[in-house]
Structure 1
Amino acid sequence: MGCKYQNKPMDAPQETGMDVSVHSRESEAPLHSTPASRSFDARVIVVATIGNALEWFDFTVFSFFAAIIAKQFFPSDNATASLLAAWTTFGVGFLTRPLGGIVLGNYADRHGRKSALVVTISLMAVGVGIIALSPTYAQIGIFAPVLMLIGRFLQGFSAGGEVGSATAFLVEHAPVERRGVYGSFQMISQACSMLLGALTGVALTRVLSPAQLEDFGWRIPFMLGLLIVPVGLYVRSKLDESPVFKHQAQRLPTAKPPFLESIVVHWRAILAGFGLTVYGTIGTYIFYYYMPSYATKTLDIPFASSVIASCCAAIAYIAATFASGYLSDAIGRKKPMVASTVLSLVISYPLFALLTSHPTLPVLIFVQCCLMASLGLFQGSYCAFVCELFPAHVRSTGMAIGYNFAVMIFGGFAGAIATLLIKITEDKLAVVYYGLFGCVIGLVTIALLKDRSKQPLM
């Protein structure tokens, strides 16, 4: 898949093969280069990552208290059926992500990243508020699970629009020589929120009794999440629009809808973004989110130990992600991304084998930290790389389509697929096969793409 980046009209014939091209709407349209900067603009990073952080914090908290939520909103004589109903409601958020990505990404490409970011965090706040404040089944009956379903729908819808708009806003504000570092903060914000969510859950279980957790304790993290919404709305309303978006909006009239142009003209770039997201998604859900369940249910490691290991792994991931973004600005995006996928292919099976034969806390920490550090080498370069696949007038939409469909398919069902593999094969190491599948998809995709890290954004 040669990857040519050249200026040519939209109606120019597409080349055969798996070529991924960034097309401008005018053959003479100049490239836009964000001015160099001596220091990081912390305001840009906060504006772009605060919504993403809220989403992943709530995601982690919901996962942590799923059993309590199931009992409160989906009562049943069968505890498994009750928990399944809760996780099904949770999964609605994944199903609505692509829709949100298309609708809100299209809005961002039409009206600007800043306007879209205000809309996404507002919708996210409504969804979180519904979950935090909804009466239980014992109080309002069937309306309780309906409200929970609506809350998750709004969360997923807004999150789907958040990723494309926020990442485009972040990378488009960055100087050309720092796009990798700026983009890495999108993934770092996820990891920080995952870590904070886990620590909040652990703290509440230590401080509150089981009865208090069921009564009101599980709502506390969601209420804490709501506290950052006013801050997010304020900073997002005050910061300037992306300079790249303003540049293209001034020189070019609005053409066909960004969604339509994305799937007709830039479908190869969407497929590339999809393939890159598959590895990051599977890695995140298998190496981080599924690992505590795997450790406790399959290897009989105490839950408290699994939480400690996950916290250590998040720290390793944050460090590797920042290092990857920094390196990608110096040596290009592809090198750390290829290194990550190759490393994961080599170490995943031996590390899981080591863990199954020595299921102890030190080994679990070592294994999970190695796996997440390897993943971080990919994720730190990912955001800038995907942004560079698309021109500004379709960037939010194109990114959102590839990312959200990959997350819906390979992330939303990751736990179920891993559990099914272990059950069918009766092999504790079967979960590794899913992770290796993601590595292969990521490696093949990145190997066939060209690196645009040194070129100005379109």
Structure 2
Amino acid sequence: MSQASTAQVPTIKSRIGAILRATSGNFLEQFDFFLFGFYASAIAKAFFPSTNETASLLNTFGVFWLGALMRPIGAIVLGAYIDKIGRRQGLIVTLSIMAIGTVVIAFCPSYATIGIAAPVIVLLGRLLQGFSAGVELGGVSVYLAEISTPGNRGFYTSFQSSSQQVAIFVAAILGYVLSEAVPGDTVMGFLGGDGVAKWRIPFFVGCLIIPVIFFLRRTLEETPEFLAMKKHPTASEVFASAVANWRIVILGMMIAILTTTTFYFVTVYTPTFGRNVLKLSTADALLVTLLVAVTNFIWNPVGGAVSDRVGRKPVLLTIAGLSLVTAYPALHWLVSAPTFGKMLAVEMMFSFYFGTYSGTMLGCLVEIVPKHVRTTCFSLAFALAAALFGTFTPFASTWLIDRTGDKASPGFWLMFAAVLGIIAALTVYRGGRQAVESREVVAA
């Protein structure tokens, strides 16, 4: 009997290899997301031409956000699939959908070539990416949690977020090289009315990476914890459980909001903020973003490891509290007399907040959602945070600055996220321990 059980529940041969294979799909997701934000101005001209630069930029960030609204749908549909069929197969499916969206955006002709069809096609590509992204983070986080060693769950899950920083780093390097080595906006003219626009080159690189990521994902082992489950829920049971645990999902969303808003501010929006608002050079904005990716990568596992030792609650409350009292003053100091050094200092502060908080938050979410529908509820909580707040950050920041005339006003958006995080953490961990219990729902 014991031998049969051992055969049915294999151990992960190499946890480092498993981490690399599991997180590879995150690379493609964040690589594309960052490029869309970094080249927002160029993409706006290609697909959303307008005499008003701000209106054109808002249209671009609007499409970016609309794609994110597909995240909750993807979290429920694909999350239910992963909770029923398995982590390995589910992660391969999500990568396939993400790859299609990437190719669509990379090769879509410009508005000058096919008119209104161009922004429609780009929107469809973003919707596919958002649908896949809705469960990618949750699926990978759950996978890492289920292969983690005892007492190190926060540390293991933190590599989900750290892997995204590698994508930001590579994308920033590509953008920097192109901006310095290739003059003008077009490399050569044969694709649509904008030729081979410089912004397309990194997207083409992303397309070339897809086969490598597929190979890595196909070699994933299923997690022992999933194989050990005596019963896997049906789709109807998954949906019923998600509804029954709506309170945990909402609290999880509130905890994740500070992660998503800070992340999209320091990565996707920072290049636009540096160039269009602070009037710094493209090279300066890219260099800051590149350094942020490096420090994000470092702080994530640090946050996860610290929370494994001292608990999730103290870390969550400390970072959220610091963000609440420093976000606006730091940005006000930066915009009063913008320099590369000041921008770097402020972004390093936000990077510390994001990385430490994110590394802790991922472990928190895995632990508070019900085990039998872990992927669905985790993904739904994070997808709602990303869709309603995180990916809305570039749009909200642009809108706040335009409406208020205060270049530091995005700080209010980050402060709001911090308040929600504090309320949720205090609610979940009342009295120093988890006070909100999940409910298992099984069909009769």
Q: Is the 2:11–2:224 contact (alpha carbons within 8 Å) kept by the matching residues of 1? A: no
Q: Where does residue 219 of structure 2 map in the other structure?
A: 238
Q: Where does residue 247 of structure 1 map in the other structure?
A: 228
Q: Is the 2:37–2:269 contact (alpha carbons within 8 Å) kept by the matching residues of 1? A: no
Task: Calculate the aligned-residue CA RMSD, in Å.
Answer: 2.6
* Whole-angstrom distance in 1 between the partners of 2:296 and 2:50: 39
Q: CA deviation at 1:83?
A: 4.2
Pick aligned residue for 2:390 from 397, 401, 411: 411
Q: CA deviation at 1:205?
A: 1.8
After superposition, what is the alpha-carbon deviation per residue over 1:21-50, rounded to whole angstroms, capped at 9, x for unaligned?
Answer: xxxxxxxxxxxxx9999x971222122211
Higher mean alpha-carbon deviation, 209-218 vs 56-65, is at 209-218
Higher mean alpha-carbon deviation, 239-248 vs 353-362, is at 353-362
Q: Give 1:127's aligned amino acid.
A: G
Q: Is the 2:47–2:111 contact (alpha carbons within 8 Å) kept by the matching residues of 1? A: yes
Pick aligned residue for 2:195 from 207, 215, 218: 215
**Alignment map for 1:377-456 (pairs within 5 Å):** 377-450=356-429
* Whole-angstrom distance in 2 between the partners of 1:430 and 1:65: 22
Normalising by structure 2, we get a TM-score of 0.86
* Whole-angstrom distance in 1 between the partners of 2:111 and 2:398: 30
After superposition, what is the alpha-carbon deviation per residue over 1:404-432, rounded to whole angstroms, capped at 9, x for unaligned?
Answer: 11111112322232333334444333222
Aligned CA distance change for structure 1 residues 328 and 36 (closer, same or farther; 3 Å): farther
Pick aligned residue for 2:123 from 149, 156, 170: 149
Q: Where does residue 111 of structure 1 map in the other structure?
A: 85
Q: What SS is found at the alignment partner of 1:388? A: helix
Aligned CA distance change for structure 1 residues 353 and 186 (closer, same or farther; 3 Å): same
Q: Where does residue 21 of structure 1 map in the other structure?
A: none
Normalising by structure 1, we get a TM-score of 0.83
Q: Give 2:409's aligned amino acid.
A: A
* Whole-angstrom distance in 2 between the partners of 1:118 and 1:222: 21
* Whole-angstrom distance in 1 between the partners of 2:17 and 2:94: 18
Q: Is the 1:36–1:175 contact (alpha carbons within 8 Å) kept by the matching residues of 2? A: no
Pick aligned residue for 2:155 from 156, 178, 181: 181
After superposition, what is the alpha-carbon deviation per residue over 1:372-391, rounded to whole angstroms, capped at 9, x for unaligned?
Answer: 11221111111121011123
Q: Is the 1:35–1:175 contact (alpha carbons within 8 Å) kept by the matching residues of 2? A: no
Aligned CA distance change for structure 1 residues 302 and 116 (closer, same or farther; 3 Å): same
Q: Is the 1:245–1:392 contact (alpha carbons within 8 Å) kept by the matching residues of 2? A: no
* Whole-angstrom distance in 1 between the partners of 2:350 and 2:204: 32
Pick aligned residue for 2:94 from 109, 117, 120: 120
Q: Where does residue 305 of structure 1 map in the other structure?
A: 284
**Alignment map for 1:155-170 (pairs within 5 Å):** 155-170=129-144
Q: Is the 1:35–1:176 contact (alpha carbons within 8 Å) kept by the matching residues of 2? A: no
Q: Is the 1:54–1:193 contact (alpha carbons within 8 Å) kept by the matching residues of 2? A: yes
* Whole-angstrom distance in 2 between the partners of 1:176 and 1:269: 24
* Whole-angstrom distance in 1 between the partners of 2:237 and 2:138: 13
Q: Is the 2:261–2:391 contact (alpha carbons within 8 Å) kept by the matching residues of 1? A: no
Q: Is the 2:146–2:224 contact (alpha carbons within 8 Å) kept by the matching residues of 1? A: yes
Q: CA deviation at 1:264?
A: 2.8
Pick aligned residue for 1:196 from 170, 173, 176: 170
Q: CA deviation at 1:332?
A: 2.2
After superposition, what is the alpha-carbon deviation per residue over 1:98-153, rounded to whole angstroms, capped at 9, x for unaligned?
Answer: 11111101100111111110100011111111112223344444433332222112
Pick aligned residue for 1:269 from 237, 242, 248: 248
Indicate whether 1:54 and 2:28 are aligned. yes
Q: Is the 1:285–1:411 contact (alpha carbons within 8 Å) kept by the matching residues of 2? A: yes
* Whole-angstrom distance in 1 between the partners of 2:401 and 2:278: 12
* Whole-angstrom distance in 2 between the partners of 1:75 and 1:349: 33
After superposition, what is the alpha-carbon deviation per residue over 1:264-305, rounded to whole angstroms, capped at 9, x for unaligned?
Answer: 322222112111111111222234433443344443333332
Q: Where does residue 41 of structure 1 map in the other structure?
A: 15
Q: Is the 2:62–2:395 contact (alpha carbons within 8 Å) kept by the matching residues of 1? A: no
Q: What SS is found at the alignment partner of 2:355? A: helix
Q: What SS is found at the alignment partner of 1:240? A: coil
Q: Where does residue 172 of structure 1 map in the other structure?
A: 146
Indicate whether 1:294 and 2:294 are aligned. no
Q: Is the 1:262–1:397 contact (alpha carbons within 8 Å) kept by the matching residues of 2? A: no
* Whole-angstrom distance in 1 between the partners of 2:329 and 2:112: 49
Indicate whether 1:372 and 2:351 are aligned. yes
After superposition, what is the alpha-carbon deviation per residue over 1:45-81, rounded to whole angstroms, capped at 9, x for unaligned?
Answer: 1222111111111111122223333333344565555
Where does structure 1 lack aligned partners over 5 or more consecutive residues? 1-33, 453-457
Q: CA deviation at 1:84?
A: 4.2
Aligned CA distance change for structure 1 residues 42 and 299 (closer, same or farther; 3 Å): same
Q: Where does residue 206 of structure 2 map in the other structure?
A: 225
Aligned CA distance change for structure 1 residues 122 and 185 (closer, same or farther; 3 Å): same
Q: What SS is found at the alignment partner of 1:233? A: helix
**Alignment map for 1:275-354 (pairs within 5 Å):** 275-354=254-333
* Whole-angstrom distance in 2 between the partners of 1:353 and 1:138: 40
Q: CA deviation at 1:314?
A: 2.4
Q: Give 2:186's aligned amino acid.
A: Q
Q: Is the 1:344–1:375 contact (alpha carbons within 8 Å) kept by the matching residues of 2? A: no
* Whole-angstrom distance in 2 between the partners of 1:72 and 1:92: 18
Where does structure 2 lack aligned partners over 5 or more consecutive residues? 1-8, 188-193, 435-439
Higher mean alpha-carbon deviation, 400-409 vs 308-317, is at 308-317
Aligned CA distance change for structure 1 residues 235 and 222 (closer, same or farther; 3 Å): same
Identity fraction in percent: 36
Q: What SS is found at the alignment partner of 1:439? A: helix
Q: Where does residue 4 of structure 2 map in the other structure?
A: none
Q: How many residues align?
A: 417
Q: Is the 1:36–1:177 contact (alpha carbons within 8 Å) kept by the matching residues of 2? A: no
* Whole-angstrom distance in 2 between the partners of 1:268 and 1:274: 10
